[in-house]
Structure 1
Amino acid sequence: MKKFNFIFICLFFTAGVSQAATIRVPEDQATIQEAVNVSFSGDTIIVAAGTYSEKVTVTNRTGLVLQGAGAGLSVIDGGINPNLDDTTGAVITVNDDSSITINGFSLVGTQYYGVKCWWRTNVTVKNCKIGTRNGGVTPPAYTIRQGLKCYDNSTLVILNNEINAGDYGINYGPNCTANVMENSIYVNRTGIVFCGLDAGSVLNNAIAGTGVTYGVGIEIISSSPLVQNNVIYNFPSSGISTNGTSANAKIRNNVVSNIGYNGIMLLDRSRPEIANNIITNSRYGIRISYDLYNSENFSYGYNNLYNNSVSNYTSCTSTTGAISADPLFVNAAGHDYRLQPGSPCIDAGNPDAQYNDTDGSRNDMGAYGGCDVKTSTTSDVTPPGVPSTPVTTSVLYYQAAISWGASADNVAVQGYKVYLNDVFTYASSTNSCTLTALLPSTNYVASVRAYDASGNESDNSGDVSFRTHSLVEIDTTAPTTPSYLNMSIGSIGGYVDVILGWGNSTDDFGLAGYHLYWCSQAAGQASPSCDVLWSDDASYSTIATEQTTYTCYVTAYDEAGNESGATETKTVTTPADTTPPAPPSTVTFEILSDTEVKLDWSGATDNYSVEGYKVYRDAHAIAALDSYPRSYTDIGLTPAVTYMYTITSIDPAALESAQSQSVAVNTRPYYVPPPPPPDTTPPAPPQGLTIR
C-alpha cells in the first residue's frame, strides 16, 4: 500500500551531457548505503537534510561524491558500538582503490572512527562535523575515538571541518599524502599524527587540547610535513612534537600557547626547521631531548618565545632574530591570536623573501603571517544577498516545484534554506527545489534564505503561496486490471487454506491496493455469504472450512478511488473432512481441595480447525467444551481416590481425536480435625465472699 513520508528533496540541474548520474536520498534510494550500492564511478549522491541511522561503506568507486545539505542538516548516525576498542567500527569506511568526496555532513555515533580510509584510497572530506563532545565533564566525553584515519599509501584531504575525537583527530599512516587545511580540531589526546610521510601540509587549523593527563597538538614521526599558520593550545604534554627522521619538517608561523610542558619538543634524530613561531605560556618553549646527539649545536632564530615558566630554550639556544616579548594578541583568553597594532611580532619574522607575508612585506611572526596564510584574517560577517521571491513551476497533489533567483555574497553562497509555512524544511545547494510528500488540498507558503560558509544568513525572500490539488482533481485514470487470477486449495502451517495470487497492476499516480470480491457457501447453506476484502499486494490466503465453495474476482484501486476492471471469477470447493484432529499433547492438573481438581491442556491441531474438546474421567466423557479456554474444573469428587483423566479434540466435522496421554490424580483424604487437648486447669476460686 502506498505510504507518504515528509521529505524535501532538492532538484539539481547540470548543463551539457554526462554519463555520471545523480542519485537523491531518500527520494531515489531510502538510505545512503543503498544509493552507494547502485552508484557507479563518477556519480553524485545528494543527501537531503535529516538523520540517517546507518554506517556507510564505499568500495571500488572512483570520483564518487557524497553531497550533504550541510553539517548539522544531513546527519549520518553510525549507532553505538559497545566495544570502543573495535577498530572495525567507522561511520564511513572507504575501501581499497576508491576515490570519494564527502561534503556537508555531521558524522555521529559511538564508533572507533568517523572516517576510515583503507590502503590506496583518495578521499576528500570537507565542510563536515565529525563526532560530538560533552563539555560538561572533565575531560570532555567524546563519542568517536579517532576522527579520520588514513592507512598506507593513501591521499586524504581534510578541509574546513570540525573534528571531535577522544584519541586522535587525524591519524595518517606511512606513505600517505596529507593536506589538512582550515579545520577546528578538539581532542583529549593528539590533534594530528603523521607517521612515515615524505610530504604534506597542515595549514590554517585551530587545534585545541581538552585532556588533562596527556596530549599533543601535532605529532610528527619520521615525517616531513609543512606545518604553518596553525593555532595550537591547551595540550597537557606538547604543542608540536617531532620524533625519528623528521629533518625536513618545516614548522613555520604557528602560535603555540598554554601547553602543560613543551611548546615544541624534539626527540630522537629529528631536526626540523622552526621559524617565525610564537610560543607562550608553556613550561618549556623549544625543548630538545637530552639523548639527542649534538643537541648543544642546535640554535633557533626568528621565533618569539615568551613567558614560558621554566625556560624558553632547553638543550638549545636562541640566535639571530629571536625575541622574547609580549606578542600583544587581540584576545588570548578567547583564543584570538591575531596581533594588535604595535605588536613586536609584526615584521619581525625571517626577512628572507620566501617567508614574506601575502602583501609582500616582511614576515609577521605567528599564525597570521607568511605566504600561506588565508587571505582574510578576519571572520566573514557579511550575509549573502536576499534571494528573489520564489515561483512555483509545477504543483501537484503531493508535491510542488519552486525556484528563485540566485543570491550574491562577498565570498561565496554555500546554499539556500527553504522555509515552508515559516518552518525550515530543507537546505539546497542550487536555486530550485521540489517539496514532496505534501498534503493534498492544502495551502502552503514558501520562502528562501541564502547562507554562506561562515553561517551568515540573508533575510527572508518574499513569499510564494500555493495550494496543492486534491488527488481526484488530477487522477482520473483507473489502474490496470490484474492480468490473471489463480485460486487453489493448499496447506499452510498444517491447515487447509484457500490460496490466491494475481498479476500486479500499475497506476499513473501509484497503486493503493486490491479489492477481493469474495463469497463462500458451505454445504447445506441456502445462499452464499459475500464480502469485499482488501490486500496491499498481489496475494491472499485464508483458512478454509470443509465442503465449502469459494468464489472470488479481484480489482485494483488507487488513492483517488479509481478502480480497475475485474479479473475472471474463480471457484474452488474444499473436500469433506475425513481426518480427525490430533489430541492435545500435554495435560496438567492442580488439586484444589479434597473434592476438586483443575485440568489444563495444550491446543490441538487439525487440517481445518479444532472446534472443541471432551474431558474423560475414568474412560467416561464428563464434559464437552469449546475450543477456548482449554481448562476444566471437576468437582464433587471423593476424597482419597485416584482418578484417570484424558482429553480429546473435536473438529467441525465432529471427528474426534484419539485420547490424550492420561494423567492420574489422587484427591486429598477427607480432613478430620483432631480433638482438642484435655482441660487440666481447675477453675479459679470465687472472689468477694462475705458472711452476715
Structure 2
Amino acid sequence: MKRFTTSVCLALVVAVVSYATATILHVPSEYPTIQLGINAAVDGDTVLVAPGTYVENINFLGKAIVVTSEAGAESTIIDGSAPAHPDSGSVVYFVSGEDSNSIISGFTITSGSGTYMEIYPSYSYWAYCGGGILCAGGSNPLISDNIVMENVCAYGAGIGCHYSDPRVLGNVIILNTADDHGGGLFCYHANTWLESNMIADCNTGHGRGGGVHIQWGTATIVGNTIVGNVGGLGGGIFASHYYGLIEGNHMAYNLAQARGGGIWARWSDPHIRHNIIERNVAPSDGGGIYCDGGGHSGE
C-alpha cells in the first residue's frame, strides 16, 4: 500500500508541475506568425493570437497545444492563399497523429487550396484534399468555433478527414467549393464527430455530398444545420459504406442534381432519427432521402 501511495503522489506532483509550467505564447507581440508560436510551443501550451489577418499555412506538428484567438473568429483570420508550395495549400494541418488535446478554436480559416495526396490508396488515386483544414495520418484533433469559408479544392473543400477521427464542434462551414466530393467536409475512413455546426452554401457541382461526404466509417452527425448546399448526389449528405448516427439535424434547401436532396445513402446502414428534413430538392429521386442498397433505420 505504501508503494502504491508513493506512486500516486509522484504522478500528482508531475501533473501539477506540468500544469504549472504551461505557457501562453502571444502572437504577434512575442512571435510574429502563428507557425513560429507553434514551433516554440510544447505540449500543454497555448498559442494566443491577437486580432488581424495572418497570411500563412499552419501545421500543429503533432503537438498537444491549443491555438486560439483573443477576440474570436470574425476578427482573427488565417489566410492560406500564399502557400510555400502549391501542392501544400491547406490552411491548417493535423497530419502527425495529433489527439484531442490538439485544439484550434476561434479563427476564420479561408482561401485554402488543399494538399495533393493519395485519396484512394487501393486505386493509387491522387487529388487535392482539405482546403481549409486537413486531418490525416491518424490525427484526432478538436476543431471548434471557427468560420471555415471560401476554400476550394477537389475533396473536402472546407475540411478533409482522411483516416482520422477529429471532433468538429460549433463551427460555421460556409461557401466552400469542391470540384469532386465534399463541399463542406470529406470523411474517408474517418469516424468524425460532427456536432452543432452550420454547414451552408457549399457546392460540389455534379460531385457527391454538397455539404458532407462520408465514405467508409461511423461518423456521428448530431445537431447540425445543413442548408443550401448543392451536389450531384446528396445535396446535404452523401454516405457510402456508412454505419453511423444522423440525429437531430436540420437539413433544408439542399439541392441534388440527381438523387437525394437531403441525404443520399448507398450500401450503408445508418441510423437516421429525429431530424427535420424539409424543402430539399432532387429532380430524379429522393428529395428528402434516397437510399440505395444496405439496411437503414429511421425515426
> Is 2:246–2:270's contact at 8 Å kept on the other side of the alignment?
no
Offset at residue 59 of structure 1 (A): 1.1
Match of 1:256 among 278, 291, 295: 278
Equivalence for 1:274: 298
Offset at residue 216 of structure 1 (A): 2.0
- Write out per-residue CA displacement over residues 565-587 of structure 1, whole angstroms, 9 at most, x where no aligned residue: xxxxxxxxxxxxxxxxxxxxxxx
Letter of the structure 1 residue corresponding to residue 67 of structure 2:
L
1:173 aligns with 2:224: no
1:200 aligns with 2:220: yes
SS of match in other structure, 2:38: helix
- Write out per-residue CA displacement over residues 310-355 of structure 1, whole angstroms, 9 at most, x where no aligned residue: xxxxxxxxxxxxxxxxxxxxxxxxxxxxxxxxxxxxxxxxxxxxxx
From the superposition, tell whether residues 255 and 83 of structure 1 become closer, same or farther in structure 2 (CA, over 3 Å): farther
Offset at residue 110 of structure 1 (A): 4.3
Letter of the structure 1 residue corresponding to residue 137 of structure 2:
W
Letter of the structure 1 residue corresponding to residue 138 of structure 2:
R
Offset at residue 151 of structure 1 (A): 1.4
Match of 1:128 among 131, 146, 150: 146
Equivalence for 2:237: 218
> Is 1:114–1:144's contact at 8 Å kept on the other side of the alignment?
no
Cα distance in 2 for partners of 1:150, 1:105 equals 19
Equivalence for 1:97: 97
> Is 2:230–2:236's contact at 8 Å kept on the other side of the alignment?
no
Q: Which runs of 5+ in 1 are unaligned?
A: 1-15, 133-141, 276-692
> Is 2:194–2:219's contact at 8 Å kept on the other side of the alignment?
no
Q: Which runs of 5+ in 2 are unaligned?
A: 1-17, 115-130, 205-209
Relative contact order, CA 8 A, sep 6+: which one is greater? 2
Letter of the structure 1 residue corresponding to residue 214 of structure 2:
F
Please give the TM-score of this superposition, normalised by the length of structure 1: 0.33
Letter of the structure 2 residue corresponding to residue 107 of structure 1:
I
- Write out per-residue CA displacement over residues 513-561 of structure 1, whole angstroms, 9 at most, x where no aligned residue: xxxxxxxxxxxxxxxxxxxxxxxxxxxxxxxxxxxxxxxxxxxxxxxxx
Cα distance in 2 for partners of 1:202, 1:123 equals 18
From the superposition, tell whether residues 124 and 184 of structure 1 become closer, same or farther in structure 2 (CA, over 3 Å): same
Offset at residue 252 of structure 1 (A): 3.2
1:150 aligns with 2:150: no
Cα distance in 2 for partners of 1:248, 1:143 equals 29
Cα distance in 1 for partners of 2:85, 2:253 equals 31
> Is 1:150–1:156's contact at 8 Å kept on the other side of the alignment?
no
Offset at residue 24 of structure 1 (A): 0.6
Offset at residue 170 of structure 1 (A): 0.9
1:76 aligns with 2:78: yes
From the superposition, tell whether residues 109 and 227 of structure 1 become closer, same or farther in structure 2 (CA, over 3 Å): same
Equivalence for 1:54: 56
Equivalence for 2:68: 67
Offset at residue 208 of structure 1 (A): 1.7
Offset at residue 82 of structure 1 (A): 12
SS of match in other structure, 1:154: coil
> Is 1:126–1:161's contact at 8 Å kept on the other side of the alignment?
no
> Is 2:175–2:202's contact at 8 Å kept on the other side of the alignment?
yes
> Is 1:131–1:144's contact at 8 Å kept on the other side of the alignment?
no
Offset at residue 117 of structure 1 (A): 0.7
Offset at residue 143 of structure 1 (A): 4.4
SS of match in other structure, 1:187: coil
> Is 1:209–1:215's contact at 8 Å kept on the other side of the alignment?
no
Cα distance in 2 for partners of 1:17, 1:223 equals 40
Equivalence for 1:162: 173
From the superposition, tell whether residues 124 and 22 of structure 1 become closer, same or farther in structure 2 (CA, over 3 Å): same
1:115 aligns with 2:115: no
Cα distance in 2 for partners of 1:29, 1:115 equals 22
Equivalences for 1:370-449 in 2 at 5 Å?
none
Equivalence for 1:236: 256
Cα distance in 2 for partners of 1:158, 1:252 equals 19
From the superposition, tell whether residues 210 and 192 of structure 1 become closer, same or farther in structure 2 (CA, over 3 Å): closer
Cα distance in 1 for partners of 2:161, 2:61 equals 15
- Write out per-residue CA displacement over residues 40-69 of structure 1, whole angstroms, 9 at most, x where no aligned residue: 11111110000111110111212x111112
Cα distance in 1 for partners of 2:254, 2:190 equals 30
Cα distance in 1 for partners of 2:83, 2:27 equals 25
Cα distance in 2 for partners of 1:31, 1:260 equals 46
From the superposition, tell whether residues 78 and 149 of structure 1 become closer, same or farther in structure 2 (CA, over 3 Å): same
Cα distance in 2 for partners of 1:77, 1:17 equals 32
From the superposition, tell whether residues 208 and 258 of structure 1 become closer, same or farther in structure 2 (CA, over 3 Å): same
From the superposition, tell whether residues 116 and 248 of structure 1 become closer, same or farther in structure 2 (CA, over 3 Å): same
Cα distance in 1 for partners of 2:28, 2:85 equals 30
SS of match in other structure, 1:247: coil
Note the aligned Cα RMSD (angstroms). Answer: 2.5
Equivalences for 1:589-604 in 2 at 5 Å?
none
Q: Identity of counterpart residues, as a percentage? A: 24
- Structure index of larger Rg: 1
Q: Which region of structure 1 is more displaced relative to structure 2, 25-34 or 156-165?
A: 156-165
Please give the TM-score of this superposition, normalised by the length of structure 2: 0.74
From the superposition, tell whether residues 199 and 90 of structure 1 become closer, same or farther in structure 2 (CA, over 3 Å): closer
Equivalences for 1:424-503 in 2 at 5 Å?
none
Q: Which has the higher helix share?
A: 2
